[in-house]
Structure 1
Amino acid sequence: MKKPLIFTLILTFTFSFAQLTQYYQQQANYVMDIDVDAANFTYQGKQTITYTNNSPDELKVVYFNLYWNAFRPNSMMDQRVQSQGKNGDSRLQTNGVSRLASIPKNEEGAQNIHWIKQNGKNLKFEIQETIMKVELDSPIKPNSSTVFTMEWDAVVPQQIRRSGRNNREGIDMTMTQWYPKIAEYDYDGWATFDYIGREFHAPFSDFEVNIKIDKDYVIGAGGTLENPTEVKGYDSNPTIKNDNKNKATWKWTAKKILDFAWAADRDYTVDTFNILDGPKVYYVYQKSEKTKLWEDSKPYVTKFFQLMNAHLGKYPYPSYSFIQGGDGGMEYGMCTMMLGEGRSLDGLVGLMVHEAGHSYNQQILAYNESVRPWMDEGFTSYYDDLIMHQLFPPKEPVANPFINSIRSYVNFTKTGKEEPAVWLADHHDSGSAYSIASYVKGELFLVQLGYIMGEQNLSKTMKEFYNQWKMKHPTERDFLHVAQKVSGMDLKWFQHYWINTTKTIDYAIKDVKYDKNSTTITLENKGTVPMPIDFSVLTKDQKVVNYQIPLNMTRVWKSKDIYGDFKTLDFWKWTQNTYSFTIPFNKPQITAMGIDFSQRLADVNPQDNFLEVK
């Protein structure tokens, strides 16, 4: 009797563990009917959401995000801006004073829910500022669907951050995060983060959106316009269908995106161009002397998509829209909202490259950016620097495209204000600490991995990661699994040091002893992050001889790198402060020597890494 019982318990445990660890993702399909009162910056909304629970859990409540409720005095966003003062997001304040505190009553953001039903039955709901908790009439069982219907009205807020009316460049309405949006549910539970101003998370969804607005308006959106001949701007000779209120209806669809965003203005112009083996690109903007650089940017945007398709993987959607609207730039499903009045071509293209880069790292590889902003912003910044280096080569040669990010990081570490990248996006103590942790350290996470495993392995890792996890919600654990499989290395230690701590890399040449036919070099680890070391010697005849000193924790050593062939030495134990080795060159044969000639290592004191031999 004992053996069958034990066998049954083992089977039960194995099955339960498989259930717990099996990947799943939820699905929401929206059908919306929106009636806009453009003169008063309000609209009426109706939507039907077919929600599919692909999780192994029975859901008794659901949550919605009501982002616009943040745009009012004394909201959590306002309180956060006031408490941080000049350390906070400069876009939310004027001279350290919150801009939200002075929003007039009639320009406060509002999403007023009239009712919500599940399969026709009224539901109880509670609004907690930007989060709406809904008690279900009947639980949503695993692998089943339910239908929510709801009505609401909304006030388009004064534009403070991303969304809103009458932005500083004269765009009438920027409609982002504008509808009651069902929250994501995954292995970590419901993603119910209050909107404080930074990042988002959502399930992949299909959208059918019908927007009724004054016929003189042009709309730009992330999606496919199904009736271009019936509205203004997309057809050379449209037959605009007006209703009895002199409005036209725009019919948009989109499949498997994280959100649906749009903007509307009476002075928009729509330009289009096609990219070979890429998307159809839409430029929706106010054509003027201030936006003349948009036309010049087209070949660069074309090259961007081609390079991203080659570096990472093919863009899967049929189109991408760059829309003048919002503040700064922000990515959404199949589109970017951005400022349009570029002062320089490389500045405008740089904004386009970064925000469109988020389509790959955030919209296609859909990280929970509220929890892991360093993956979203950091990985995007990595390709931003890599591709801008190719689009606009520097006048003076540089060691690598990431040198400026390394310098920014090194300089910030000396302020004593650095915070771990693992922190939640909205919970950093200052805007600069958030930026360094998410954008810069996230980018340098990949730069350091290229240094550790070799650039060829990093490239393979990124392509394999994209191939395995596109249209899903990967985590750092998923990325690390791919990186370790491709390289054969143990990399957990590095992720822990780099993401979870603010410890730093600091290596130095401690001592050099010259003999008749050789030189003995002693290196020192003065920092708190152990790393493998690339060491190079420049000989008198201008040859570079490279050595690799592996770190014992990787267990497998780098076999090649694009920065030249190398000889692999004995490993350096991470518990050991110094390391000595001998090279077959005497002093008269050496011009210079140093740690990391490629300048990829994010060493906080690089001045003691090099030695000129005189």
Structure 2
Amino acid sequence: MRKIFLLAGALLATVAVKAQDRNHAYKFEQMGTLLPTPNVYRTASGAPGHMYWQQQVDYVIDVELDESIHRINGKEKITYTNNSPDQLTYLWVQLDQNMRAEDSDTYKTETGSMEDKMTKRSLTPILGYGFDGGHKIQSVTDASGKAMKYVINKTMMRVDLEKPIKSGEKFEFNISWYYNINDRLLMGGRGGYETFPEDGNTLYTITQWFPRLAVYSDSDGWQHKQFLGRGEFALPFGNYLVRITVPSDHIVASTGELQNAEEVLTAKQRELFEKAKTATRPVIIVTQKEAEQKEKTKAKDKKTWIYKADNVRDFAFGSSRKYIWDAMGVKIGDRTVMAMSYYPKEANPLYETYSTEAVAHTLRVYSKHTIDYPYPVAISVEASNGMEYPMICFNYGRPEKDGTYSEAIKYGMISVIIHEVGHNFFPMIVNSDERQWTWMDEGLNSFMQFLAEQEWDKNYPSRRGPAANMVSYMKSSKDTQEPIMTNSEQIIQFGNNAYGKPATALNILRETVMGRELFDYAFKEYARRWAFKHPNPADLFRTMEDASGVDLDWFWKGWFYTTENVDISIDDMKWYVFDSKNPEVENPRMAKEKADAKRHVSQTINEKTAPKSAVESRAELRDFYNSYNEFEVTAESKAAYKKYLESLDAEEKAMLNSGYNFYELSFSNKGGLVMPVILNFTFKDGSKEMVRIPAEVWRMNEKEFTKVFPFKKEVVSVELDPQRETADVDTENNYWPRQMLPSRFELYKYERRPSSNPMQKKK
């Protein structure tokens, strides 16, 4: 209903703010002690401090793949540089393969239950794999060959030093080891082997394969939290020289640059590799026909492939005689990076068509938003899984045997390649602690993956990034949710918590809270500041604010430290117009409103059916009040109106005649997360207007507020969050007047489910 209000001359300077109790839940108070105290190593601005340091660990490794028994044999020389101001009396080394030891805590802490029907695959983890897994340490010696004392604590090994490593000193020691490679399809895991029964050949993905130094940092000391299988890796940077010995008919895909191409590649392969550097489409270096020919025989002799990689935090490789290999040069800044793919014939035609193109696309998009990709190569290996390492990643995406594939497989393959190649930036370059903060690599990378997907195809069916895709998780049971700032081993809904929610949060920051210009600059600054360093969450939070000039403490607190959700409700809307005081305008309006208010149904019916009333029939029953009109326009009322106008100044008269309608909207915060309020007003003439209100509108009262909106047009409806950009979990209270939103159901009779592979069906 429209309400009339009076413009009082010189008294109404502004719309009065309704007095209310302070209603705070500490959403807008600064983060304060939630963040670590700035120091000379990490500044309050989020940048590395003037005394920032990090350790360096260099490796020279000789490794041999024994295909006959699926075993890795290795020895390594490790050079540890102590750049810290501290004296170190021992070193911690990660033995990640020990999670596969028969007595590992990974197996001991697995939970499960019995079902009425159990498969071999579901029973095997309960009965045990019967697999002799884990790193078998054969020796630990110093540079002179003298045995060193060491203690293995599950997936960690402490190497005790005869004398401390002082600040600025280097220390060299050696480890010799072997381990049995796991059947990845049976036991799962990031690395392992897959044997193809059709041809009896094996594809190896060799990861977490060598004893690796743990991170020692200014903020946490040694990061030696045990590896249970989910929390990934915290690793220092260093230089690698790795000699990989494999059967001579294998192709090796690896971190780093190949140093001895003349010894392991044919002249034709080297020629094609050079051609690929300037090609606009991937060049096939090892063809499917060549790979199929090698599948028919197994070489007995061996070759050693030598790879070198500088300033990387890890090293991985794949090896198989089944590999097809293609490559293409990509211009990144003033450098040419080799985008490459290795895949078995079972992955064609998908990988030949899309893999290297997706690698190149990822490098371009990520470099635009962060820093130029600094490494010489970027590799995608099809291995029926998804995992990332510097310069190389292992992905999935196999079509049917007839070469057809579903849309889900196609986009799933492209997405996993983008995601895993993207991990080169987070955390392989911006080197966060994955063991503690999974979201700092998976969440940031999932956000960047969304940007790359949308630049691949404007209609790309992105799974994570759009706010609406997060609603079902945000409104799910709090019993299965944890704040984003939770260690990875404790998370129940791991994908939603560590990947989806932080990716959504960053996209909301970019599109809704900060805007693209401010966000993109600040995010790029974070990547620039922390490239080849070890950032913590506070460094990201502080940099985003420092480089943008936007106070985001309320956002970090709500999205990253709580499990609250977004549910803003429009509770009421009232319509006000000016009381003009003009009796010729206002008196007829008031007369009609009074008559309408008194009118009842009996009057309406009587006017049509009843005979004349007594008063209507007999004049003697009528008196003064039967003809009196309290809303008559009189000389006195006209004079009063003239006097009222004279009391107003020119601006007030203009305001009075402006034709404004004032709409008072009341909002409540039912979900807990404070967010910007985005409103779409629809007017009587069919036009619309979008109004955006910053989240600070909640700063005085985090539960509710009322705000007035002036328009010259009449509003017929208003919608909250019309583009679904805030992850609001209840859209039914986003409308005024309320709208009944339909829930759809289907009438059907049971039929066999159609194929999800239309390409195959058509073929």
Q: Same fold (TM over 0.5)?
A: yes
Indicate yes or no: 2:112 matched with 1:112.
Answer: no
Question: Post-superposition shift, 1:101?
Answer: 4.9
Task: Give the equivalent residue in structure 1 for 2:318.
Answer: 263
State the 1:272 CA deviation: 0.8
The one of 694, 715, 721 equivalent to 1:596 is: 721
Q: In the alignment, is residue 137 of structure 1 matched against residue 158 of structure 2?
A: no
Gap regions ≥5 residues in structure 2 = 1-37, 43-48, 272-298, 400-404, 578-660, 740-763
> Hey, what's the Cα distance between the residues in 2 that align with 1:299 and 1:369?
28
Matching of residue 42 in structure 1 with residue 42 in structure 2: no
CA contact (8 A) 1:218 1:233 kept: no
Aligned to 2:733: 608
Given that residues 431 and 532 in structure 2 are in contact (C-alpha distance below 8 angstroms), is that contact kept between their aligned partners in structure 1? yes
* Aligned CA distance change for structure 1 residues 456 and 42 (closer, same or farther; 3 Å): same
Contact kept, 8 Å, 2:371 with 2:528, in 1: the verdict is yes
Residue of structure 2 equivalent to 1:90: none
1:180: Cα distance to partner?
Answer: 0.7
Report the CA distance between 1:363 and its aligned residue. Answer: 0.8
* 2-structure distance, mates of 1:418, 1:260: 34
Identity %: 27
Matching of residue 207 in structure 1 with residue 232 in structure 2: no
Q: 1:63–1:192: 8 Å Cα contact kept in structure 2?
A: yes
Q: Which amino acid aligns with 1:228?
A: A
Task: For 1:562-577, list aligned pairs within 5 A.
Answer: 571-577=697-703
Residue 61 of structure 1: how far off its partner (Å): 1.1
**Counterpart amino acid of residue 190 in structure 1:** W
Matched position secondary structure for 2:426: helix
Q: Deviations for 1:391-429, whole angstroms, at most 9, x for unmatched residues?
A: 233289x9x961453234335x2464111211111222x
The within-5 A match list for 1:34-113 is 34-81=63-110, 83=111, 97=123, 99=125, 101-105=127-131, 108-113=132-137
The correspondence of residues 293-304 of structure 1 with structure 2, limited to 5 A, is 293-297=350-354, 298-304=356-362
Aligned with 2:190 (options 152, 162, 165)? 162
Match of 2:390 in 1: 333
> Cα 1:145–1:94, aligned 2, differ >3 Å: closer, same or farther?
farther
- Give the 3-state SS of the residue equivalent to 1:364 in structure 2: coil
CA distance in 2, matches of 1:456, 1:445: 17
Residues of 1 paired with 2:394 and 2:349: CA distance?
Answer: 18
Structure 2 distance, partners of 1:70, 1:363, is 23
In the TM superposition, residue 258 of structure 1 has moved relative to its aligned partner by 1.4
Residue 527 to residue 322, structure 1, CA distance change in 2 (3 Å): same
Distance 1:203 1:233 in 2: 36
Per the alignment, residue 6 of structure 1 pairs with: none
2:505 to 445, 455, 461: 445
Task: Give the letter aligned to residue 406 of structure 1.
Answer: M
Q: TM-score, normalised by structure 1?
A: 0.84
* Residue in structure 1 matched with residue 204 of structure 2 by the alignment: 173
Aligned twin of 2:301: 246
> Per-residue displacement from partner, 1:173-220 (whole Å, max 9, x unpaired)?
210010011111112011112221121110012110001222121111
Distance change >3 Å, CA 300–CA 324, structure 1 → 2:
closer
Worse overlay, 162-171 or 592-601:
162-171
**Partners of 1:85 and 1:447 in 2: how far apart?**
39
Query: What residue is the counterpart of 2:524 in the other structure?
Result: 463
Residue 487 of structure 1 deviates from its aligned partner by 2.6
Write the deviation string for residues 529-580 of structure 1: whole angstroms up to 9, x where unpaired. Answer: 223323332445565433343344xxxxxxxxxxxxxxxxxx4325342211
* Equivalent in 656, 664, 673 of residue 520 of structure 1: 664
Equivalent in the alignment of 1:582 = 708
Distance (whole Å) between structure 1 residues aligned to residue 169 and residue 268 of structure 2: 42
Q: Are 2:178 and 1:149 aligned?
A: no
Look up the match of 1:356. 421
CA distance in 2, matches of 1:301, 1:591: 50
Cα displacement (A) at 1:599 = 2.0
Q: Which residue of 1 aligns with 2:690?
A: 546
More off after superposition, 279-288 vs 229-238: 229-238
Q: Give the whole-Å Cα distance in 1 for the aligned partners of 2:419 and 2:248.
A: 33
* Other-structure match for 2:5: none
**2:345 paired with 1:282:** no
SS at match of 1:302: helix
Q: Is the 8 A contact 2:426 2:444 kept in 1?
A: yes
- Distance in structure 2 (CA, Å) of the matches to 1:234 and 1:341: 31
**Residue 424 in 1 paired to residue 482 in 2?**
no
* Greater relative contact order, per chain length (Cα 8 Å cut-off, separation 6+): 2
**Cα pair distance change 1:235/1:31, threshold 3 Å:** farther
Quote the Cα distance in structure 2 between the aligned partners of 1:331 and 1:401. Answer: 20
Equivalent pair of 2:478/2:563 in contact (CA under 8 Å):
no
Distance apart, 1:74 and its partner CA: 3.8
What amino acid sits opposite 2:252 in the alignment?
A: I
Unpaired runs of 5+ in structure 1?
Answer: 1-15, 87-92, 239-243, 553-570
Q: Give TM-score scaled by structure 2 length.
A: 0.68
How far, CA to CA, are the matches of 1:272 and 1:310 in structure 2? 22
- Secondary structure of the 1:270 match is strand
State yes or no: 1:409 paired with 2:473: yes
Equivalent residue number for residue 186 of structure 1: 217
DSSP-derived class of the 2:64 partner: strand
**Partner residue in 2 for 1:122:** 147
Change (3 A) 1:434 1:339: same
Quickly say closer, same or farther: Cα 1:60–1:66, change in 2 above 3 A: same
SS in 1 for 2:210: coil
Query: What corresponds to 2:616 in structure 1?
Result: none
Contact 1:74–1:101 (8 Å) recurs in 2: no
| Contact 1:32–1:48 under 8 Å retained in 2 | yes
CA distance in 2, matches of 1:541, 1:387: 40
Separation in 2, partners of 1:146, 1:395: 51
- Partners of 2:265 and 2:228 lie apart in 1 by 36
8 Å CA contact 2:454–2:460 kept in 1: the answer is no
* Contact 2:57-2:239 within 8 A present in 1 as well: yes
- Does the alignment pair 1:501 with 2:562? yes
The structure-2 alpha-carbon separation of the partners of 1:17 and 1:584, relative to structure 1 and needing over 3 Å to count, comes to: closer
Partner residue of 2:677? Answer: 533
Which one has the bigger strand percentage?
1
* Structure 1: distance between partners of 2:738 and 2:701: 30
Separation in 2, partners of 1:365, 1:234: 38
What is the total number of aligned residue pairs between the two structures? Answer: 558
C-alpha RMSD of the superposition: 2.8
